Structure 1
Amino acid sequence: MTAVNARTDARRTTVYIRETPVAYTEAGKGETCVLLLHGLGGTSDDWRSVMRELARRHRVVALDLPGYGDSGPIPGTSPAAVADFVWAFADVLGISRAAIMGHSEGGSVAVNMALQRPDRATRLVLVSAAGLGRLINPIFMVLGATPVGALVPRLAKLPVGPEALVAALALFGSPRPWRVPKPWFTKMRQAASSTGVLVHAVVTLRQGVSARGQENLVLDSLPQLPQPVLVAWGTHDAVLPVSQAWGAVRRLRQGRLALVPCAGHLLPIEAPDRLVAAVAPFLAEVALVTEGAASTEQSAGTGASST
């Protein structure tokens, strides 16, 4: 089933990947495809404003990752398992190569995708990405390493439980939660009202965070990435420290850093315009490379036919 938003030309579609329903939104056209991966507990709607701007020049695809939004769960919840599944999704959509942009947990998935298929990942944008160091807000260590985390899904059944969860996420995620758009609160309240979504999020969190901090680290694998990588971070991130951005860039072969002042962990949601301002020139380079390669091939073809 496909739904079209006439105002933004965004198309909402559901496909089946390995018998699992996957909902995604697609907009724009262009030689470059940008694949957007949301964070833990989020949905593709987290990229709404970013997608609208990037779709002016690129084909942009944002999916609900397995277990979130309108997508079904898959047996594995590790970033590597999700990365493999997203590549299968890309195959069904005919996406041979893509620039991959991941936020938080989606950033860890993006790195795993690039490690699995470096020939298909043209560029990476890691936005407040998970897995780039042990440090994480102690609250998430408590949720991941103690029985407290198992209590979270029960909050969905309380009269104001979903509202409390979303309010806490906004307070942790942004230094200025009043800047977070109202549609995000509505969407997240719906997610927080679903026991299934909360259970999936807690299971994923408990597999990725222990008493030591973050697990499933990809930091030591960053030197293996051959493609250009932009690391974007809010300077006031209260979930993952901004120091991890510096550490990541130092390990990358072609790493670049974009810091967004006075922004927190919910960077794509609270400051999409400033995020796009940093990302758009980086992605535009892919289009220039693609156009240059096409021009070279065309010239070579013309030369061959004239001899």
Structure 2
Amino acid sequence: MTVDLNHVDTGGEGTPLVVVHGLLGSADNWRSHVKQWQQRYRVIAVDLRNHGRSPHADGMSYAAMAADLLALLDRLGIERAHLLGHSMGGKVVISLACLHPQRVASLVVADIAPQAYGHDHDAVFAGLRRVEEGLPRNRREADALLAEHVEERAIRLFLATNLERDDEGVLRLRIGLDEIEADYDAIMQAPAGEGSYDGPVLVLRGGRSPYVTDAMLPRLHDVLPQARLATLQDAGHWLHAEQPEAFQAAVNDFLASLEA
């Protein structure tokens, strides 16, 4: 059963640009980019299941998340869209493109390859559980709890975007952490769908990120044979936040080339 995804829709004409966040992110993380893109495109930024303001549901397979996204396109009456996905969201859009290529005008895949990855979120999950237990009443308390397990301040700030205050003044996680942890193995797997997507693709990777290495490129081109690869040299995995202007320029140039 699909989930009705929460989303932000800027409205506008032409082929929409659908933006899909990564693990433990949300549409909110993309507000500055959406503000820029909406000057040219109808932009739809989504919250995947168990993220942001979307409902919580069992199962984090890429087939399920791609089905959620397809259902949203159907609900909005969108026949074809440009899809942009970061990290886990990149695997979601690759899945949709492989399963339903007729619905995809192009792909922008940000710092992920279409393959399985190892488990590396244990400290993050432990930090989030500590926040759940600690019942923080302000951001400073929440950060101190996260810091017991997550050393990098930038990552703690990112994780803190998932906190919202309840009626009693306690900061609580809005994500479906139980559901995410229960099916974390599925998140680490390759995208859904057999074969390849033969449409236009831009793959953006961070020069300091280990997520899209040269050794992964043969597999990437098997699944995305038309992929153009661009590297943002001074960026890590969160390249859209670390190098926002360069990221914007690369996406804008790619989409403009499709209209030429």
Structure 1 residues 202, 107: closer, same or farther in 2, change over 3 A? Answer: same
What CA distance in whole angstroms lies between the structure 1 residues aligned with 2:27 and 2:144? 20
For the structure 1 residues 256 and 51, does the alpha-carbon distance in structure 2 shift closer, same or farther, using more than 3 Å as the test? same
Q: 1:254 maps to which residue? A: 226
1:233–1:258 CA contact under 8 A, matched in 2: yes
- Aligned residue for 1:76? 59
CA–CA separation in structure 1 for the residues paired with 2:240 and 2:229: 16
What is the percent sequence identity of the aligned residues? 27
Structure 1 equivalent of residue 244 of structure 2: 272
Equivalent of residue 154 in structure 1, options 111, 124, 129: 129
Partners of 1:249 and 1:257 within 8 A in 2: no
Q: Call closer, same or farther: CA 1:287–1:28 in 2, change over 3 Å.
A: farther
SS at match of 2:161: helix
- In structure 1, distance between residues paired with 2:17 and 2:97: 13
Q: Which runs of 5+ in 1 are unaligned?
A: 1-16, 210-215, 289-307
1:120 corresponds in structure 2 to 103
Aligned to 1:203: 182
1:171 aligns with 2:152: yes
SS in 2 for 1:119: helix
- Cα root mean square deviation, aligned: 3.3
Aligned to 2:168: none
CA offsets 1:2-50 (integer angstroms, 9 cap, x no match): xxxxxxxxxxxxxxx95x5532112252312111110111100121122
Name the counterpart of 1:243: 214
Query: What's the CA shift string for 1:249-276, capped at 9, x where partnerless?
Result: 5333211011111111112222222111
Cα distance, 1:248–1:124 mapped onto 2, change above 3 Å: farther
Match of 1:281 among 240, 253, 257: 253
Counterpart in the other structure of 1:30:
13
Please tell me the residue identity of whatever aligns with 1:27.
T
Paired amino acid for 2:72: F
Q: How many angstroms does 1:164 deviate by?
A: 4.8
Gaps of 5+ in 2: 166-170
Q: Distance in 2 between matches of 1:38 and 1:170?
A: 23
Q: Contact between 1:31 and 1:58, CA under 8 Å: does it hold in 2?
A: yes
TM-score (norm 2): 0.80
Aligned CA distance change for structure 1 residues 75 and 276 (closer, same or farther; 3 Å): same
Are the aligned partners of 2:235 and 2:242 in contact in 1 as well (CA < 8 Å)?
A: yes
Q: 1:270 to 1:185 in 2, by over 3 A?
A: farther
